[in-house]
Amino acid sequence: MLSRLERSLGQAASAIDLWRSGSLDPAGLRSSLARTGGYLPINSEFYREAHPQDDMVIRQVACYGQLREFLAGWPLRGEAEALSRAEQEALFRQRGIERGFVYRDVPRRYGGSEQPPDALADAIIREEYWRAGAPGDLGG
């Protein structure tokens, strides 16, 4: 029986092949990869060695899965519910910085998460934060 990771890798590889052949548009690829996102580790060395051209795609899939899991925590629950809206947003934003989703281009010494430039990840993160109604970068 295949593990969830093996199934996810197979599904991701199939979606990438369909996209490369022109049978799947970029939106369809993104949708297909999103469905597998929760189970693909960023440092999947065995897959990266076999498919080095897909390294970026695997990283995006992993980012998307981690992001969806993180955003499921908004709105805050438990003790944090008693905080004011502004305090909740500040706390969630700080957690986003710690996870590398917020202020990605700002150095750590200035309060950012100091992530390497990645336009696709930035676009995915902005869109998913917007969909979740979660507080992200101020002014962005």
The pTM of this model reads 0.61
Query: Which of these three, 69, 93, 123, is where a domain ends?
Result: 69
pLDDT tens sequence across 61-119: 667 778 888 999 999 999 999 999 999 999 999 999 999 999 999 999 999 999 988 88
Q: Kindly state whether residues 91 and 115 are assigned to the same domain.
A: yes
DSSP category for residue 109: G
Q: Kindly state whether residues 51 and 95 are assigned to the same domain.
A: no
The residue with greater pLDDT, 138 or 89, is 89
Q: Is residue 13 part of a domain?
A: yes
Measured CA to CA, the distance from residue 79 to residue 104 in angstroms comes to 28
Q: Is residue 48 part of a domain?
A: yes
Return the ∠ at Cα 69 (arms to 96 and 98), rounded to 5°.
20
**Residue range of the domain that includes 29:** 4-69
- pLDDT category at 140 given cuts 50, 70, 90 is low
Sign of CA pseudo-dihedral 35, 40, 46, 52 = positive
| Res 1: pLDDT | 44
